[in-house]
Chains A and B, each alone.
Chain A
Amino acid sequence: AQSVTQLDSQVPVFEEAPVELRCNYSSSVSVYLFWYVQYPNQGLQLLLKYLSGSTLVKGINGFEAEFNKSQTSFHLRKPSVHISDTAEYFCAVGNTGGFKTIFGAGTRLFVKA
């Protein structure tokens, strides 16, 4: 069975500071990993995805994530955040065994001026 754990429910950070949102997963088969972002009163939209190849994945809005198979992690990073990055971020996993995506509980990023 698959599962996704987001290690922080809330992350407050000052504007222009770096941020890392942590995600760990468990799966018995090959995985495909995603980060989605949800702005207030909106649906989720894709930030980036890891399917195969390079373990460092770049996404929209300056975000990137690194796939670490040995640590079963897929942490999201941004070197300098903006107020507009305030949102909830979801890590998710899919696999070749099916087409259902499993989501983590979400991390609320709050960027302060």
Chain B
Amino acid sequence: NAGVTQTPKFRVLKTGQSMTLLCAQDMNHEYMYWYRQDPGMGLRLIHYSVGEGTTAKGEVPDGYNVSRLKKQNFLLGLESAAPSQTSVYFCASSSGQYNSPLHFGNGTRLTVT
């Protein structure tokens, strides 16, 4: 029962470097999401996808890009990392129904120096 798997678990970047976070789910879910978690702010939605080949902006999309080339994978990219992007990133998936819960990965802790 893998569920939602995120890689890597930890990463340290220098300002201006780029990286890609990978999320994979094995539940055949249509919807996938990327959130960031910062102390005292809960989870904020970065980007989401309602199906293969589609993506949309969430609440805090600036500085990030995403791609969903395969239904099971959702990639989050940082083209030029900034210290403000230091955070814990969570991927989640759901069946897409408005009353369906989210299934989360274990997170990626990113530090930008």
The residues of A with any CB-CB pair to B shorter than 8 Å are 4, 9, 32, 34, 36, 41-46, 49, 51, 90, 94-96, 98-101, 103-106
B13 within 8 A of partner (CB): no
Q: In the complex, what distance in Å separates the CA atom of A9 from the CA atom of B50?
A: 32
B1 within 8 A of partner (CB): no
Please determine whether A90 and B98 come into contact, CB atoms closer than 8 angstroms: no
The residues of B with any CB-CB pair to A shorter than 8 Å are 4, 31, 35, 40-45, 48, 50, 58, 90, 92, 94, 96-99, 101-102, 104-107
Please determine whether B98 and A44 come into contact, CB atoms closer than 8 angstroms: no
Picked from A43, A99, A105, the residue with its CB within 8 Å of the CB of B31 is: A99
Please determine whether B101 and A34 come into contact, CB atoms closer than 8 angstroms: yes
**Complex A-B: 19 CB contacts under 8 Å:** A9-B40, A32-B99, A41-B107, A42-B106, A43-B90, A43-B92, A43-B107, A44-B90, A90-B43, A94-B99, A95-B98, A99-B31, A99-B94, A99-B96, A99-B97, A104-B42, A105-B40, A106-B40, A106-B42
Task: Kindly report which residue of chain B lies nearest to residue A45, judged by CB atoms.
Answer: B104
Please determine whether B98 and A94 come into contact, CB atoms closer than 8 angstroms: yes
Q: In the complex, what distance in Å separates the CA atom of A104 from the CA atom of B92?
A: 17
Picked from B4, B42, B58, B99, the residue with its CB within 8 Å of the CB of A105 is: B42
Please determine whether A43 and B98 come into contact, CB atoms closer than 8 angstroms: no
CB contacts (< 8 Å) of A94 on chain B: these are 98-99
When A and B form their complex, which 6 residue pairs have the shortest distance between CB atoms, in order from nearest?
A43-B104, A103-B42, A105-B42, A103-B43, A46-B101, A32-B99
